[in-house]
């Protein structure tokens, strides 16, 4: 098995992936807590460090880049300092940003987390969820249509911030199918029934339950029924339900379900683990690896990033060490 894993990741440097979705910035404010505020029953955080990292579709692109592959990022940002700094950071890493369009009527999505002693104290979001203008939608669709024939795989990174709408989904899925490119989706509940006929969809257990309009799923038998129901309803090739510390359940057309236990040794922060999974799945499927090998490698990668604090990526060297 290790030889199959190694053979797959050796082919990453020749792989190009188009990432379409909601681009965000994750701000981490780190500090220490030694007292409670006299003004309200809340901790006083003495700030020691601040970090700005690409989140959402930007983090998917960073993960692809860190695995020595080429990422093309398509989405929107605001005309602000947060967006400009993000663009500079992405360019420095070699990520192609020609598909990022500036919307003067919205801010760049910013998620700020205050972390003290490895614990998240609070998160506050500055963003707009209003739809894209017809002009920007047209520019984005033109870019997607031009780029899909030239890449090896497509990722849809849907965080519900307006980039992934019916038009974008229809065009992306149609083009990917036409040119026989694998298309992998990190879904949002609101659009769940629209991800039809994709190669792979990767909901977490909560998204899978809510996306299928269910209230509770707990037993292994119910999870198997859930995965098979998603396969049938969406007519997709495969479904990976991520289950946190319980690993992942893999469903594929005309094959029995597969359960993969977690590879995480320690869990410090689950931020961005889903981004890592879709990034690795896209690279593996693009190289021609089968679904089960791809899911195993993605599971190892997720196990590495949850052991890091903040929005994180995984390297080829870390993956190789994990396989061993």
Contacts of 280 (CB under 8 A, 6+ apart): 63, 67, 294, 297, 298, 301, 314
Whether the Cβ atoms of residue 172 and residue 194 lie closer than 8 Å to each other: no
φ and ψ at residue 25, rounded to 5 degrees: -115, 130
For residue 150, the SS3 value is helix
Radius of gyration of the chain, Cα coordinates, nearest whole angstrom: 19
How would you classify the pairing of strands 119-126 and 109-116? antiparallel
Whether the Cβ atoms of residue 161 and residue 56 lie closer than 8 Å to each other: yes
What is the Cα–Cα distance from 71 to 63, expressed in whole angstroms? 9
Give the ranges where 67-162 is alpha helix by DSSP (H): 81-92, 134-147
Hunting for tokens 């990767």 — which residue is that?
Answer: 202
**For 23, which DSSP code?**
E
User: What is the side-by-side strand order in the sheet with 119-126?
Assistant: 43-56, 23-36, 109-116, 119-126
φ and ψ at residue 255, rounded to 5 degrees: -135, 150
Extract the tokens encoding 248: 């992942």
Examine the residue annotation and report whether 269 is marked as an active-site residue of this protein: no
Which residue of the set 96, 158, 269, 275 is catalytic?
Answer: 275
Which residues are marked as active site? 275
């Amino acid at each position: 098995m290790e030889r199959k894993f190694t053979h797959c990741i050796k082919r990453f440097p020749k792989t190009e992936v188009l990432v379409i979705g909601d681009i965000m910035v994750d701000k981490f404010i780190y500090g220490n807590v030694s007292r409670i505020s006299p003004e309200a029953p809340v901790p006083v955080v003495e700030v020691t460090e601040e970090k700005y990292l690409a989140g959402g579709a930007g983090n998917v692109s960073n993960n692809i880049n860190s695995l020595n592959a080429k990422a093309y990022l398509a989405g929107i940002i605001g005309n602000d300092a947060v967006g400009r700094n993000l663009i500079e950071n992405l360019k420095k890493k070699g990520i192609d940003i020609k598909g990022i369009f500036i919307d003067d009527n919205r801010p760049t999505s910013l998620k700020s987390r205050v972390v003290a002693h490895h614990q998240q104290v609070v998160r506050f979001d500055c963003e707009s969820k209003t739809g894209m203008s017809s002009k920007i939608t047209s520019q984005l669709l033109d870019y997607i249509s031009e780029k899909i024939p030239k890449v090896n795989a497509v990722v849809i990174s849907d965080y519900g911030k307006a980039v992934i709408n019916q038009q974008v989904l229809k065009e992306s899925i149609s083009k990917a199918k036409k040119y026989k490119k694998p298309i992998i989706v990190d879904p949002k509940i609101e659009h769940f029934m629209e991800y039809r006929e994709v190669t792979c969809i990767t909901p977490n257990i909560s998204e899978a339950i809510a996306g299928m309009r269910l209230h509770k799923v707990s037993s292994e038998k119910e999870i198997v029924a859930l995965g098979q129901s998603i396969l049938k309803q969406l007519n997709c090739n495969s479904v990976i339900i991520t289950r946190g510390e319980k690993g992942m359940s893999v469903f594929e057309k005309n094959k029995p379900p597969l359960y993969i236990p977690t590879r995480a040794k320690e869990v410090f922060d689950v931020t961005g683990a889903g981004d890592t999974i879709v990034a690795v799945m896209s690279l593996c499927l693009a190289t021609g690896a089968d679904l089960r090998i791809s899911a195993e490698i993605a599971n190892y990668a997720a196990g590495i990033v949850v052991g890091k604090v903040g929005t994180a990526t995984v390297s080829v060297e870390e993956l190789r060490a994990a396989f061993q």
